[in-house]
């Protein structure tokens, strides 16, 4: 979110300083793990769809500006029982915004996607224009674009305090002091400046498995996927694109963290691995007994699992975005535009009232 915001601001011609707590890209937050699913038929809420349409345009524009392939259109296959809330949510978003999706019966699922062995009472929705993003490449691309457009980006430097002095904000870091007219905060799991609500941090684990059956190829139907297995959880993954293999993770559940710095501080108990192995071996028709690699990431959960984008409650010159709740990365390109426009004009370019902080205090 920060790299995208810096790039949008720098391209607007203003003076920009970006401060990054770690180096870029890094594996200490929510923006790593090789791939992230991107889709428009959004079961989480139909109001996200206009933002996603804009996000797609920005991702494609970033590809053109940096000459890097970032978006892979594999299609996304969502499967669940007929009474799945996820299936119903996708249908609502698709109907509201006239998105192209294909509703598949169980017979059609088995015929079109024989690589998946889903329960007989499951149906599917295929969104052909969806796929995945190469996340580290996305971060690096926005980082490079921001610098090329004139932004100064300081890695391994973090804010320790800020205060308003007249019309100027004084920002203190672990290395220096800066003065600015506007400040934008995209601190992820470190967004502890909100006193009125509690953000919950969940540690999630992503796994890769050796695979020869579910490899991505432009001419084959090997989609990214989400499986709603009811009380057993929501699982997702992306097809094999390199030597790491097939990516699999559990979207639901997670291990609570008291401090985001604990993310990699102790080994995983592999509870999510056991869940994946027990529930997906048959569906994926693969041997999931041994993974090739795993890594942790964080979901920073808002109380209602929707994003929070707003002015800082204590200072009108500060804008922030946080609480992306495990489904935010695909929006990074448009969040950068939104935050830059808020800082420059005070008005968002898209309707985001449903993401305001005030919804928790009504």
For the annotated catalytic residues, the residue numbers are 32, 35-36, 247, 251, 297, 330
* Dist CA 231 CA 143 (whole Å): 40
Q: Cα(129)–Cα(74) distance, rounded to whole angstroms? A: 8
Backbone torsion region of residue 34, taken as left when φ is above 0, otherwise alpha when ψ lies between -120 and 50, otherwise beta: left
- Which tokens belong to 226? 């989400």
Q: Exposed, middle or buried by CB within 10 Å (0-12, 13-18, 19+), for 65?
A: middle
What are the tokens at 256?
């609570």
Query: What letters, b where the CB count within 10 A reaches 16 and e where it falls short, cover 279-291?
Result: bbeebbebebeeb
Residues forming a β-bridge with 170: 163, 179
Using CA atoms, how far apart are residues 308 and 352, in angstroms rounded to an integer? 9
Two structure tokens written together for 272: 């999510």
Q: Are 18 and 139 in contact (CB under 8 A)?
A: no
CB 207 within 8 A of CB 60: no
Rounded CA-CA distance 240/260 in Å is 30
Peptide linkage before 97 cis (omega within 30 of 0): no
What 8-state DSSP symbol labels residue 215? B
The C-alpha atoms of residue 282 and residue 293 are separated, in whole angstroms, by 21
DSSP-based three-state secondary structure for 244: coil
Give the orientation angle of helix 85-97 with respect to helix 49-66, to 10 degrees. 80
Pairing label, strands 76-81, 35-38: unpaired
DSSP H/E element including 146 = helix 135-148
User: Which residues are paired to 134 by β-bridges?
Assistant: 35
């Amino acid at each position: 979110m920060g790299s995208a915001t810096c790039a949008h601001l720098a391209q607007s011609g203003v003076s920009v300083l970006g401060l990054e707590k770690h180096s870029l890209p890094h594996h200490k937050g929510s923006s790593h793990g090789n791939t992230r699913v991107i889709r428009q038929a959004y079961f989480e809420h139909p109001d996200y769809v206009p933002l996603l349409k804009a996000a797609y345009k920005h991702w494609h524009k970033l590809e053109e500006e940096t000459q890097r392939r970032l978006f892979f259109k594999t299609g996304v296959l969502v499967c669940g029982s007929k009474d799945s809330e996820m299936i119903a949510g996708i249908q609502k978003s698709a109907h509201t915004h006239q998105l192209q999706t294909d509703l598949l019966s169980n017979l059609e699922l088995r015929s079109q996607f024989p690589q998946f062995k889903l329960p007989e009472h499951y149906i599917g929705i295929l969104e052909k224009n969806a796929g995945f993003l190469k996340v580290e490449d996305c971060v690096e691309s926005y980082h490079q674009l921001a610098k090329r457009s004139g932004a100064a980006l300081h890695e391994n430097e973090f804010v320790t305090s800020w205060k308003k002095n007249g019309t100027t904000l004084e920002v203190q870091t672990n290395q220096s002091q800066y003065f600015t007219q506007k400040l934008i905060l995209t601190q992820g799991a470190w967004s502890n400046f909100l006193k009125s609500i509690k953000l919950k941090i969940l540690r999630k684990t992503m796994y890769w498995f050796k695979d020869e059956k579910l490899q991505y190829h432009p001419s084959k139907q090997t989609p990214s996927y989400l499986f709603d297995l009811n009380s057993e959880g929501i699982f997702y993954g992306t097809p094999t694109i390199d030597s790491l293999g097939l990516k699999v993770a559990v979207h639901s559940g997670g291990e609570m963290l008291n401090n985001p710095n604990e993310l990699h501080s102790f080994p995983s108990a592999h509870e999510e691995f056991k869940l994946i192995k027990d529930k997906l071996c048959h569906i994926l028709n693969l041997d999931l007994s041994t993974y090739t690699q795993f890594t942790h990431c964080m979901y920073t959960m808002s109380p209602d699992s929707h994003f929070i984008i707003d002015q800082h409650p204590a200072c009108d010159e500060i804008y922030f975005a946080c609480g992306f709740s495990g489904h935010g990365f695909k929006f990074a390109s448009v969040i950068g535009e939104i935050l830059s426009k808020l800082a420059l004009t005070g008005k968002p370019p898209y309707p985001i009232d449903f993401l305001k902080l005030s919804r928790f205090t009504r």
